[in-house]
A and B are shown apart, each in its own frame.
Chain A
Amino acid sequence: MARFAADVPTRGGFSFDLCQRNEMLLKKGNQLPTFRKTGTTIVGLVFEDGVILGADTRATEGPIVADKNCEKIHYMAPNIYCCGAGTAADTEAVTDMVSSQLQLHRYATGRESRVITALTLLKSHLFSYQGHVSAALVLGGVDITGPHLHTVYPHGSTDTLPFATMGSGSLAAMAIFESKFREGLTRDEGIKLVSEAICSGIFNDLGSGSNVDVCVITRGQTEYLRNHQLPNPRTYVSSRGYNFLKGHTEVLSTKITPLKSSKVEAAAEVDEMEE
């Protein structure tokens, strides 16, 4: 029973207690399952007033599309956003964790978060797990020192760049950037270029697909354009659809349990305070 008490919420961090059992299963010939990955095309660029981030919206599990419209641009701080590629659980967990750490830091310092802070927190976490936390990120934001764009690799190395692409579609997107990027783009030109780069990834890379998400960060304002472009609409739907009449399915047994309505709460039990 003392072991059961260890189930109470621990201090956090990873727990390795099933590793031995999983090793044994592997040796017996059972393959490990495929994790959900974000095949992905993610991009970022610096324009005249700030930073624009872009991402596709397909999540894959092996060759199957698990989610046709997932969100790959994660919130870090009001002025900092991060696109994630790699194992979906890792990108979500690491960005959530650093976002919480940044929030606590903001409370402690009373200042707006800086992009370099987020970068250092991410790179030190990823390095300490030696690449096993498989998250490749494009981090961008605007703080008191200006606009910043960084890429973070799963092993913990980082680059600071005026334009960046990551993920399986990075080559397709980088081709667009290398031919059309210049310093000092306007907001509309920047959004158009980012959308073009993501579309290039969507149509040419099999691991990326569906829609284009764009996030524009400037000093004092962030605009998250979810599903900015929908270049892959579902046009083959039959207008009739399937109509299954009641009683179509053979049922062996039915059990109906009424639920008591939660709104009918007796409020009449309050005792008045008496002097």
Chain B
Amino acid sequence: MSIFEYNGSALVAMVGKNCFAIASDRRLGVNLQTVATDFQRIFKIHDKLYIGLSGLATDAQTMYQRLVFRHKLYQLREERDMKPQTFASLVSALLYEKRFGPYFCQPVIAGLGDDDVPFICTMDCLGAKELAKDFVVSGTASESLYGACESMYKPNMESEELFETISQALLSSVDRDCLSGWGGHVLLVTPTEVQERTLKGRMD
């Protein structure tokens, strides 16, 4: 089994009209046994910037701690929050630093930049950035997620429709993957508020 399939994960981020949504599953497993059903994969960097980390859970948590550390240093020096593009470059550099002994995690970054323009991007475990204008996916369920998002995504969705679309894409994809699921966690960020919702899904 690949090291990526040790814990299992599913992550997706989508762009809407002046808003973005990032969603993950909630299972933490050890090979085929489920160990937790409320595992957090999406982390907040600042009010308008979130990062989801799929892959090996221990590397995801270590990466998150290092990134929060670097962002806090940045805030102290620059007296402001990091822009999403800058943060994506930081994550890419931290991952590429470990080119020959990488962290086994694939980040999905989503944020609102200047003028509240949504920004999403994903990377492989070496830091190769993929900037997309519509959606990005990551995790063991990524192949199903690609298919579901390709068909369900529409450009310029309002926040309510975006929430429904990303939830349906996530739930239908994790149902086709043994290693992820057990509910879903969706964060929808608009310029004025953050909506955090837990989804009811199949618990198998």
Q: From residue 25 to 58 of chain A, which have CB atoms closer than 8 A to chain B? A: 25, 29-33, 35-36
Q: From residue 64 to 122 of chain B, which have CB atoms closer than 8 A to chain A? A: 66, 69-70, 73, 92, 95-104
- B152→A259 contact, CB < 8 A: no
Once A36-B128, A89-B99, A92-B129 are accepted as A-B contacts, the answer to whether A29 and B196 lie under 8 Å apart by CB is no
- B124→A36 contact, CB < 8 A: yes
Chain B residue nearest to A249 (CB atoms) is B167
- In the assembled complex, the Cα of A18 lies from the Cα of B1 at a distance in Å of 20
Main SS class of interface, B: mixed
Query: Distance (Å) between the CB of A109 and the closest chain B CB?
Result: 27
CB-CB contacts of A188-199 with B at 8 A, as 1s and 0s? 000000000000
Once A14-B97, A133-B99 are accepted as A-B contacts, the answer to whether A33 and B125 lie under 8 Å apart by CB is yes
Q: Determine the interface band of chain A, counting residues with CB < 8 A from chain B.
A: 35 or more
CB-CB contacts of A1-29 with B at 8 A, as 1s and 0s? 00000011110011111111110010001
> Does any Cβ of B come within 8 Å of A180's Cβ?
no
> Does any Cβ of B come within 8 Å of A270's Cβ?
no
> Does any Cβ of B come within 8 Å of A225's Cβ?
no
Query: Distance (Å) between the CB of A132 and the closest chain B CB?
Result: 7
Which chain A residues border B47 with CB–CB below 8 Å?
A: 259
Once A14-B97, A249-B171 are accepted as A-B contacts, the answer to whether A30 and B2 lie under 8 Å apart by CB is yes
Query: Distance (Å) between the CB of A226 and the closest chain B CB?
Result: 13
Once A14-B100, A89-B128 are accepted as A-B contacts, the answer to whether A256 and B165 lie under 8 Å apart by CB is no
> Does any Cβ of A come within 8 Å of B154's Cβ?
yes
Which chain A residues border B128 with CB–CB below 8 Å?
A: 35-36, 59, 87-89, 92
Q: From residue 136 to 185 of chain B, which have CB atoms closer than 8 A to chain A? A: 142-143, 146, 151-152, 154, 160-161, 163-165, 167-168, 171, 183
- A33→B191 contact, CB < 8 A: no
- In the assembled complex, the Cα of A273 lies from the Cα of B55 at a distance in Å of 56
- A67→B196 contact, CB < 8 A: no
Once A30-B6, A258-B192 are accepted as A-B contacts, the answer to whether A22 and B101 lie under 8 Å apart by CB is yes
- In the assembled complex, the Cα of A96 lies from the Cα of B130 at a distance in Å of 15
> Does any Cβ of B come within 8 Å of A268's Cβ?
no
Q: From residue 150 to 169 of chain A, which have CB atoms closer than 8 A to chain B? A: none
Q: From residue 24 to 56 of chain B, which have CB atoms closer than 8 A to chain A? A: 47-48, 55
> Does any Cβ of A come within 8 Å of B61's Cβ?
no
Query: Distance (Å) between the CB of A6 and the closest chain B CB?
Result: 11
> Does any Cβ of B come within 8 Å of A221's Cβ?
no
- B101→A21 contact, CB < 8 A: yes
Query: Distance (Å) between the CB of B24 and the closest chain A CB?
Result: 15
> Does any Cβ of B come within 8 Å of A70's Cβ?
yes
Query: Distance (Å) between the CB of A65 and the closest chain B CB?
Result: 8
Query: Distance (Å) between the CB of B84 and the closest chain A CB?
Result: 14
Given pairs A31-B2, A35-B125, 19 additional interface contacts (CB within 8 A): A29-B1, A33-B4, A33-B104, A33-B124, A36-B128, A64-B146, A66-B124, A87-B128, A89-B126, A89-B128, A92-B129, A133-B99, A249-B163, A251-B199, A251-B200, A255-B195, A256-B193, A256-B195, A258-B192
15 A/B residue pairs, CB under 8 Å, sorted by A: A18-B102, A19-B100, A59-B128, A61-B124, A64-B142, A67-B132, A89-B126, A132-B100, A242-B152, A242-B165, A244-B152, A249-B164, A249-B171, A255-B197, A259-B193
